[in-house]
Structure 1
Amino acid sequence: MRILCVGLTTVDLVQRVAHLPGPDEKVQSESVDVAAGGPAANAAVTAAVLGAPLGIEVTLVSAVGAHPLGDLIRTDLAAHGVTLIDAAPERTDPPPVSAVTVLSGTGERSIVSRNAGNRTTPVPAGGLPDADLTLVDGHHPALAVAAARSARRLLVDAGSWRPVFADILPYAEVVACSASFRHPAGAVDAPHVIVTHGPAPVQWITRGQKARDIPVPPVRAVDTAGAGDAFHGALAVSLVRGEPLPTAIHEAIKVAGVRVAHAGPRTWLNYL
């Protein structure tokens, strides 16, 4: 079984603080972590860790480039079993960097990120690898559209609206939205739509049927950064295994709960 993740990879600098600094204020962080980040990359890492005992292979297609920071990304992904196909191997500018600040008291996070900016990332010369399930996050539009059109089964991470989603969503089997997602035309027309609301129940909508709520067990939040990405990675693993969607959603909720209960971008993986 093979999962293909297509989208954004960043370098995440994560610091925990007791309070966010005000203008011209400096605060001492309690800890510092550096890891590969971004929706597709975080989902790929989650899927690779969950899928390794099951023989599930996970490939990430993203733009990393030849800048020294790219080595950090490559090392981190390889350490967690993700095969990287770099769609921009000769690019010398820095990859996207996200500065993530986590409040130690609540686990809430603030993020300053450039994301992919105005970069144009083409489909790799060798094309996209075959996969049983493809996850796209809408970053790197040309890549996202190519992946959507070639996917056997398509899972879309719709964190926030991007114009490219108009070309991607018609191919989707499952669209996983955050509560802040707003489609310009209103409702998302896909066979299955999942809407997460943080600690509130997850809403599951099947085309032509009444929406259903799936409860989220209470968890003491220590670090919410990447929780949605973990949800998507776990959802991809369950779907590629052929599990019914309600079961897949429950498993994804469980994995996201493990994520928010532990500090740092990678430590939580030891508790899966």
Structure 2
Amino acid sequence: MTGIVVLGSTNMDLVTYTARAPKLGETVTGREFVTVPGGKGANQAVAAARAGGAVAMIGAVGSDDFGTVLRHTLEASCVDTDLLRTAEGSSGTAHIVVDDDGGNAIVVVPGANGTVTDLGPGDEALITTADALLLQLELPLSAVIAGAEAARRHGVRTILTPAPAQPLPPELLAATDLLVPNEHEAAVLTGIADPHAAAGALLRQVPEVVITLGQAGSLHASRTTEPLLVPAPHVTAVDTTAAGDTFVGALAVALVEGRPLPEALRWASAAAALCVQRPGASTSMPYRTEIEAS
């Protein structure tokens, strides 16, 4: 059995490090530029695999050099790429500015990801083998909905990261078991800035929510339990680019392994804390031994 299937994006991250991000119409000088394999789907797949999960990836890379690197990066982390398509043309790219405080601003160009509009041959069969399906919103919504509904038909747990933040169709919410937004995404989805109140509003749409709160940790809420706030380890952030994806990947592994919820949230927070202390996306994600030792 494949423990975790990820239906999501693969991007090459084009990252510029600078003292501060430019304002509209302004030019600033950066100190470093790097290319790093990423994309929210691929990030979550790598994070889950490094955390010890058996992971398979559904999505698409381009026929360009970036596509070759993206596929190799997933395979190097032991992610099954048998159903990762190759689309003619460019791979997805993410253009990222990281400032001295570790904050980031990102522009995503979908490329090959935009060709994934539905499940392809073998995709649903693979989903049926999983304990959990991880979804994000960097693929066309039609594919995300198709994946979630396939998982629901076969009793597979769906974990949705609603990023980039956008209104969620009722049919996607109806097929979502666990929603994992950050504070900003929760506010966009509900119009409510306070995470506790936002969590309550989201529970009217999905049965379970985890809102990530950055340095403040994470907030779990469900329709059947009291809210649970789990603090995060105190660390100095270097680059927060893949922190949320690392959290979700590690959390999925912990839940699939049957860990108690408080332990699963602490474990995921430890993984994210290790991630933000390193530059890059997939390159910054910790391995299971590192998480266990932290």
TM-score (norm 2): 0.81
C-alpha distance 177-238 of structure 1, shift in aligned 2 (>3 A) = same
C-alpha distance 120-267 of structure 1, shift in aligned 2 (>3 A) = closer
Shift of 1:41: 0.9
Q: Do the aligned partners of 2:211 and 2:220 also contact (CA within 8 Å) in 1?
A: yes
- In structure 2, the residue matched to 1:96 is 92
Q: Do the aligned partners of 1:88 and 1:121 also contact (CA within 8 Å) in 2?
A: no
- In structure 1, the residue matched to 2:157 is 153
- In structure 1, the residue matched to 2:65 is 68
- In structure 2, the residue matched to 1:122 is 118
- In structure 2, the residue matched to 1:136 is 135
C-alpha distance 196-35 of structure 1, shift in aligned 2 (>3 A) = same
Candidates 187, 190, 194, aligned match of 2:202: 187
| Aligned residue identity for 1:162 | Q
Shift of 1:190: 2.3
Shift of 1:29: 2.3
Q: Do the aligned partners of 1:4 and 1:61 also contact (CA within 8 Å) in 2?
A: yes
- In structure 2, the residue matched to 1:34 is 35
Candidates 55, 58, 63, aligned match of 1:58: 55
Identify unmatched segments of 5+ residues in structure 1.
Answer: none
CA distance in 2, matches of 1:87, 1:44: 12
Q: Do the aligned partners of 2:177 and 2:208 also contact (CA within 8 Å) in 1?
A: yes
Q: Secondary structure at the match of 1:158?
A: coil
C-alpha distance 127-173 of structure 1, shift in aligned 2 (>3 A) = same
- In structure 2, the residue matched to 1:269 is 286
Shift of 1:36: 2.1
C-alpha distance 236-268 of structure 1, shift in aligned 2 (>3 A) = closer
- Structure number having the greater helix percentage: 2
Q: Secondary structure at the match of 1:59?
A: strand
- In structure 1, the residue matched to 2:108 is 113
Aligned residues: 265
C-alpha distance 168-69 of structure 1, shift in aligned 2 (>3 A) = same
CA distance in 2, matches of 1:73, 1:27: 28
Candidates 140, 147, 166, aligned match of 1:162: 166
CA distance in 2, matches of 1:221, 1:48: 23
| Aligned residue identity for 2:218 | V
Shift of 1:5: 0.6
CA distance in 2, matches of 1:244, 1:35: 34
- Root-mean-square deviation (Å): 2.4
Identify unmatched segments of 5+ residues in structure 2.
Answer: 192-200
CA distance in 1, matches of 2:158, 2:202: 18
Q: Do the aligned partners of 1:145 and 1:164 also contact (CA within 8 Å) in 2?
A: no
Deviations 1:216-260 (A, max 9, x none): 221111110110000000011001111122221111111000011
TM-score (norm 1): 0.87
Q: Do the aligned partners of 2:217 and 2:269 also contact (CA within 8 Å) in 1?
A: no
C-alpha distance 162-260 of structure 1, shift in aligned 2 (>3 A) = same
Higher mean alpha-carbon deviation, 164-173 vs 149-158, is at: 164-173
- In structure 1, the residue matched to 2:230 is 214
